[in-house]
Amino acid sequence: DARMGVLYDGDDWGFTSRARLQFNMSGETDGGLTFGASFRVNDEGAQSGARQASTGTRGTVFIAGDFGRLAMGAPAGAAEAAVGDLYEVGLTGLAFYNEVDYLTGDGAGINGAWNPTVLYSYTFGDFSFYASASDGNNAGGRVENPATDEGSQDYSVAVAWASGDFKVGVAYESSEVTTVAGGVATTADTQDQWVLGGEATFGDFGLKAIYVNGARNVAGGVNTYDYEEYGLSGSATFDLVTVTAFARETRQEFPVNTLSNRYYGIGARYDLGGGASLVGGIGHRDVEYGSALNAPDTYGDFGIAFRF
Amino acid sequence: DARMGVLYDGDDWGFTSRARLQFNMSGETDGGLTFGASFRVNDEGAQSGARQASTGTRGTVFIAGDFGRLAMGAPAGAAEAAVGDLYEVGLTGLAFYNEVDYLTGDGAGINGAWNPTVLYSYTFGDFSFYASASDGNNAGGRVENPATDEGSQDYSVAVAWASGDFKVGVAYESSEVTTVAGGVATTADTQDQWVLGGEATFGDFGLKAIYVNGARNVAGGVNTYDYEEYGLSGSATFDLVTVTAFARETRQEFPVNTLSNRYYGIGARYDLGGGASLVGGIGHRDVEYGSALNAPDTYGDFGIAFRF
Amino acid sequence: DARMGVLYDGDDWGFTSRARLQFNMSGETDGGLTFGASFRVNDEGAQSGARQASTGTRGTVFIAGDFGRLAMGAPAGAAEAAVGDLYEVGLTGLAFYNEVDYLTGDGAGINGAWNPTVLYSYTFGDFSFYASASDGNNAGGRVENPATDEGSQDYSVAVAWASGDFKVGVAYESSEVTTVAGGVATTADTQDQWVLGGEATFGDFGLKAIYVNGARNVAGGVNTYDYEEYGLSGSATFDLVTVTAFARETRQEFPVNTLSNRYYGIGARYDLGGGASLVGGIGHRDVEYGSALNAPDTYGDFGIAFRF
């Protein structure tokens, strides 16, 4: 895929463009299992740091059959696979304000980028079941570093139900980050949350809502807090034009004050045919801490997106 | 493409080889616009640093139609698109002594590597018009860094005329580099130049000449200077053999002395068919500063070049 | 290719997966020479450091004809091309305990990773002749660094004889590492070794043995030592299952004591068809220094390997 356009970052305009290519490989065993792997050229790139498809921390590898589907590498976590994000706006994603704050999978959460993830999914009638986990070793688990062996771990389980125009998902995520000093695991931050999502699709109209409720326990108790997150997004297609919008808020209940982040976005896409679209959008964030409102942040972009 | 051979770097011989692969993607909208993107695997590589096709600072993305052609990413600047370089010699380019010192586009100039560039070109009969610019934001314009927001900027405009065996191009380039200290833009170096080029092609013979005249103003006045650059190159093909040569000189008129760089090169290519060629060449640089001649530098190479 | 599974690193289990893709390009000249190049996406990746197919230190480029085959880039050295390694076990290679300690080629040896290598091979009846060398310049020989110009050099020659079920190879390798201080080459470590290998293949059974005898001379004499290495591996295929095992020992005769490393491995592969296999293995290392046995190290893995 590729795109070219302009991006407003809250202060001034700049150019934005990119060109990418994804490889999808697949096969089938004699016993009828399907398998495959996919990654992009830039999953091996300089900016991906030590995360690479060739070391299992980008891209995905999967095998599927009657038993379900097992994916490794950097798949989404179970919660994200079952519930997903609000509808995206803009050419570049506009800081991805539409994305739910998942704890696990795909580089997400305090456990972060370096843990390879496994995702198991199984569909039975209208129900789909998902489970995912990182392996609890740092550095991809290939070589043991005794000083950091007490690795961080996360996991997630989720169920989704889909029937006709409706889809509902509920998920639980848990993440534990172990800090090691002098070869001894001394502290552990834990965070866990419930994620609830629902989506309705009526022909050219779509509506999606999410709700998150969780708590973070920081070792030593400082900054331990409960939090909530809720969001709503809608999409409507009129002939060649699709309009999308979302609103999302996160509330972190610190002992003294509440930190609120409010995100809004609206965008439109005009289909030029042949894989090309004119795409533009605006995204905005307000931050409220206690009674003071500060740090608004606005992004805007416009350009052409290509699929090949 | 690929190549393998030996390289003399002025002191001793070494091996040289490389293997690369370029992806070209293209499509067409329902309205008849063509679009596409191209980049090489190594445009995402470790040695490309933060410049990557996936972030718009390597490779190109384009859309073209009756309005002309618009390219983003790392296209050549307008001046280079209209005039181009002298004929290249050797298997490896031999330090690319044949290349004109363009200010803008494709990682060139004092504005340098990190600015994404946009190039617009339009052809009307025998005339082609080119305009290019960087976006004036550092770091690709994606995320705003307040301390460096007063970004550097360059632009270029050019006209080329081509008819039968002859082609002429004239271009103007301007580059401004802003230095920021303590969040305040304090100094700005500017550089601008005119580029003139002409090429004649008679059957198997080609002749090309370039002339550059410019000035660099360094903030504070130290090292402010005028400069000139002129070059000539020729190419002749006899059956399977092509011989190419060039000479180029740059003269920077510093207050006390003149710094001259003289570049020479000659090379030959023997077509083996099927995309393979035997290629070799010699390149040489003399540096003259004031009355003292110093730092000569000679490169030579020989080997096989492949296209697949 | 791709793989997914679990890996035991001597202390605990982790996930392991990867997805890769290799590009193979080839062509033929009008005179009937064949040529080509091959490299993987991750040969340009962030973890490959400065070694890249685009700069001739990963991947290979070759040309072949009646004169033999000439390959550049990162081919195996002559010794490895003629004799090869013991049979590999496990999904991930399990620290590659089965690999012979070759001095030259493909990033091997004290001359190491940064020297591009050329490998010439010629087959005449049952005999094959191999010769390889690095170019004696550091940094790939492209740009001269006066301080390190007295580069390190290695070379290798080998002969292999193959007839029916039997194959025998003998090779000599020599490596010299020059240390430069203050622009002057002051010290040179040298290392050279003989490698002997034999393999017999009877239907579904294979047996392979190697023997290495060499000496390392460290400038100044400290740590100068002789060494030996011997290894044996076998493979047996029963219908869809292949079982492989190896044992290898290296003995370095230091003035006071002998450092012995003993490596063992066993693994199995079950062919699922269509390019997929269930693969698992165990690898183990014992280190003996003088009379004290220390630092055992055990790896185990199990998972699915895919070829596309």
Residues of A in contact with C275 (CB under 8 A): 27
How confident is residue A294, by pLDDT bands cut at 50, 70 and 90? Answer: low
Enter the DSSP assignment of A42.
G
Whole-angstrom distance, CA of residue B90 vs CA of residue B179 = 38
pLDDT at residue C118 greater than cutoff 70: yes
> At residue B122, what are phi and psi to the nearest 5 degrees?
-145, 130
Domain count, chain A: 1
In terms of CA atoms, which chain C residue is nearest residue A137?
Answer: C14
Distance of residue C186 Cα from the nearest chain B Cα, in angstroms: 19
pLDDT at B138: 53
Enter the DSSP assignment of B49.
T
How confident is residue A293, by pLDDT bands cut at 50, 70 and 90? Answer: low
CB contact under 8 A, C14 and A141: yes
CB contact under 8 A, C14 and A55: no
Q: Give the rounded distance of the alpha carbon of B166 from its chain centre.
A: 22
CB contact under 8 A, C142 and B7: yes
Average pLDDT on B147-172 reads 85
Query: Domain with A213 in it: what CATH number?
Result: 2.40.160.10
More confident residue, C261 or C149: C261
pLDDT at residue C147 greater than cutoff 50: no
Distance of residue C25 Cα from the nearest chain A Cα, in angstroms: 17
CB contact under 8 A, B306 and C61: yes
Distance of residue C77 Cα from the nearest chain B Cα, in angstroms: 15
Instruction: Kindly list the residues of chain C whose beta carbon comes within 8 Å of any beta carbon in chain A.
Output: 2-4, 7, 9-21, 40-42, 44-47, 92, 272-276, 304, 306-308
> Average pLDDT, whole number, for chain C?
85
User: Nearest CA to C269 among C245, C240, C298?
Assistant: C240
pLDDT tens profile A59-91: 889 999 999 999 998 899 999 999 999 999 999
pLDDT at residue A288 greater than cutoff 80: yes
pLDDT tens profile B225-254: 999 999 999 999 999 999 999 999 999 998
Residue-level length of chain B:
308
pLDDT at residue C236 greater than cutoff 90: yes
In terms of CA atoms, which chain B residue is nearest residue A92?
Answer: B142
Q: Which range of residues forms the domain containing residue B182?
A: 2-306
Q: Are strands A117-124 and A68-73 parallel, antiparallel or unpaired?
A: antiparallel
pLDDT at B12: 74
User: Nearest CA to A121 among A83, A165, A157, A174?
Assistant: A157
In terms of CA atoms, which chain A residue is nearest residue C301?
Answer: A142
pLDDT at B180: 58
For C123, other C-beta atoms within 10 Å of its C-beta total: 13
Q: Are B270 and B278 in contact (CB under 8 A)?
A: yes
Distance of residue A233 Cα from the nearest chain B Cα, in angstroms: 25
Q: In this predicted complex, what is the ipTM?
A: 0.84
Residue B39, Cβ density class (10 Å: 0-12 exposed, 13-18 middle, ≥19 buried) = buried
Residues of C in contact with B273 (CB under 8 A): 29-31
Q: How many CA atoms lie within 13 A of B172 on its CB side?
A: 2
Tokens of C240: 């869809």
> CA-based angle B53:B56:B62, to the nearest 5?
90
Residues of C in contact with B274 (CB under 8 A): 27-30
Instruction: Please state which of the ranges A31-45, B50-64, C74-88 shows the lowest mean pLDDT.
Output: B50-64
Enter the DSSP assignment of A77.
P
What number of C-beta contacts closer than 8 Å exist between B and C?
A: 138
pLDDT at A139: 45
Whole-angstrom distance, CA of residue C46 vs CA of residue A45 = 6
The residues facing B306 across adjacent strands are: B2, B276
pLDDT at residue A34 greater than cutoff 60: yes
> Average pLDDT, whole number, for chain B?
85
Instruction: Please state which of the ranges A158-172, A174-188, B170-184, C136-150 shows the lowest mean pLDDT.
Output: C136-150
Distance of residue C139 Cα from the nearest chain A Cα, in angstroms: 20
pLDDT at residue A270 greater than cutoff 80: yes
Tokens of C95: 């620290």
CB contact under 8 A, B276 and C60: no
pLDDT tens profile B8-34: 877 777 788 888 889 999 999 999 999
CB contact under 8 A, A4 and B72: yes
Q: How many CA atoms lie within 13 A of A254 on its CB side?
A: 10
CB contact under 8 A, C47 and A52: yes
CB contact under 8 A, B14 and C46: no
User: Nearest CA to A114 among A57, A41, A69, A70?
Assistant: A57
CB contact under 8 A, A54 and C42: yes
- Start-to-end CA span in chain A (Å): 6
pLDDT at A300: 93
Q: How many CA atoms lie within 13 A of C20 on its CB side?
A: 19
Enter the DSSP assignment of B33.
-
Tokens of A87: 């509808």
User: Nearest CA to B188 among B236, B230, B149, B153?
Assistant: B153
CB contact under 8 A, A15 and B142: no
CB contact under 8 A, A272 and B118: no
pLDDT at residue A305 greater than cutoff 70: yes
pLDDT tens profile A136-181: 665 433 333 344 455 677 899 999 999 989 999 999 999 887 665 5
CB contact under 8 A, C52 and B44: no
Measured CA distances, B199 to B208, B210, B239, B263 (Å): 4, 9, 22, 19
User: Nearest CA to C303 among C16, C110, C24, C94?
Assistant: C16
Instruction: Please state which of the ranges A38-52, B42-56, B142-156, C25-39 shows the lowest mean pLDDT.
Output: B142-156
Instruction: Give me the torsion for CA of B98, B104, B106, B112, rounded to 10°.
Output: 100
pLDDT at A74: 86
Distance of residue B308 Cα from the nearest chain C Cα, in angstroms: 6
Whole-angstrom distance, CA of residue A9 vs CA of residue C203 = 67
Mutation for C interface: A34, A43, A134, A142, most C CBs within 10 A: A142
Whole-angstrom distance, CA of residue C249 vs CA of residue B264 = 57
Tokens of B82: 């209209």
pLDDT at A141: 35
Enter the DSSP assignment of B77.
P
Tokens of A196: 């609830």
pLDDT at A145: 39
pLDDT at C145: 39
User: Nearest CA to B109 among B216, B187, B28?
Assistant: B216
